Amino acid sequence: MRADSVRAIRLFTAGLGAASLAVSLAAISAAGAPRNALIVQGLAAVLALGLALLVGRFWRRARWRLWLLIAASALALVVTLMNGVSLEGAKRWLALGPIQMHTASIVLPFAAWAFAKGFGDRRAAPIAALLAFLLLYQHDAASSLAWALALAAAAAVERPRQVTPWACVAVAALLAYGAWVEPDTLPAVPYVEGLLDQTFAASPVLGVLAGVLMISLPAPFLLVARTRPERRAEALALAALWVGWIAGNLFGNYPAPVLGYGAAPILAWGLSLGLVLGDPVDQDPPAS
């Protein structure tokens, strides 16, 4: 891909990120967020920028064992289930001081990236199916849907001849369906889950802007998939992951990614961007 195409995608992404932060701060304030939430949101955006640059600069130079990345992601969910914060029976968060971090937001971008590159390893798909089961057990339908869509997108691009990856996709889809059938008992926080409705009620213009920007979050990954064929599988897997999280907010009682209050989705977006907008292809790690 030509350098000017890379530069154009990065400039577009920078503009999208800046606009999303500005609208997010205005939207969560209009929805009733306290002042300290605005500070956390701004600091998370700064940290996400640093993570995107750091991951983009160094991540692809390491020779990762991709199945181990998926296994580490699953282990993080196990730790959350064992020692995480419990709300109405759901255990999706780890307490980091005063902040509760949504574990799936942090680990799923790495897992989706690894799965999309790891079709040559038979260990990747079974661990990915285990991860789908753990998401169901966390009572996190939005992340279950996001993970199933990410697996399906990667498989659709790679079209593996083995049965195991397709079986993994089918298992993840069934578990995502099971997660959505189960009622979510957590109450909605206006500036987290109910952001768009609350913002639109306060200011229709601001509500529309917030909705448009949230739906645009997968755009950088789609641009990479279009212009960088060697990264199409991982870029589309990450795009699908974000489509799932967005759908979780639009159709269920789940956080509005990036635009709603919450550090973890902002950090996850930065990590996801760093994974696909990193160093040139000759430094890409092997799928092993």
Q: In whole angstroms, give the CA distance from residue 232 to residue 255.
A: 27
Confidence of residue 95 (pLDDT cuts 50, 70, 90): confident
Comparing 13-17, 22-26, 158-162, 239-243, which segment has the lowest mean pLDDT? 158-162
Residue 43 in this model has a pLDDT that exceeds 90 = yes
State the Cα angle at 153 between 192 and 235, rounded to 5°.
Answer: 75
pTM: 0.92
Looking at residue 233, its pLDDT comes to: 93
Confidence of residue 160 (pLDDT cuts 50, 70, 90): confident
Alpha helices by DSSP H, the chain: 3-30, 35-58, 66-83, 103-117, 124-137, 141-158, 163-181, 195-202, 204-215, 219-227, 232-251, 263-276
CB 239 within 8 A of CB 79: no
Looking at residue 163, its pLDDT comes to: 86
- The mean pLDDT value for 52-65 works out to 80
Q: In whole angstroms, give the CA distance from residue 85 to residue 87.
A: 7
Instruction: Tell me 285's DSSP state.
Output: P
Comparing 223-232, 233-242, 251-260, 279-288, which segment has the lowest mean pLDDT? 279-288
Output 102 or 281, whichever has higher pLDDT.
Answer: 102
Confidence of residue 2 (pLDDT cuts 50, 70, 90): low
Looking at residue 4, its pLDDT comes to: 72
Looking at residue 9, its pLDDT comes to: 92
Mean pLDDT, the chain, rounded, equals 89
Confidence of residue 177 (pLDDT cuts 50, 70, 90): very high
State the Cα angle at 236 between 233 and 238, rounded to 5°.
Answer: 110
Looking at residue 127, its pLDDT comes to: 94
Confidence of residue 78 (pLDDT cuts 50, 70, 90): very high
Q: In whole angstroms, give the CA distance from residue 205 to residue 17.
A: 19
Helix (H, G, I), strand (E, B), or coil: what is residue 216?
coil
User: Strand pairing partners for 87?
Assistant: 90
Looking at residue 48, its pLDDT comes to: 95
CB 128 within 8 A of CB 151: yes
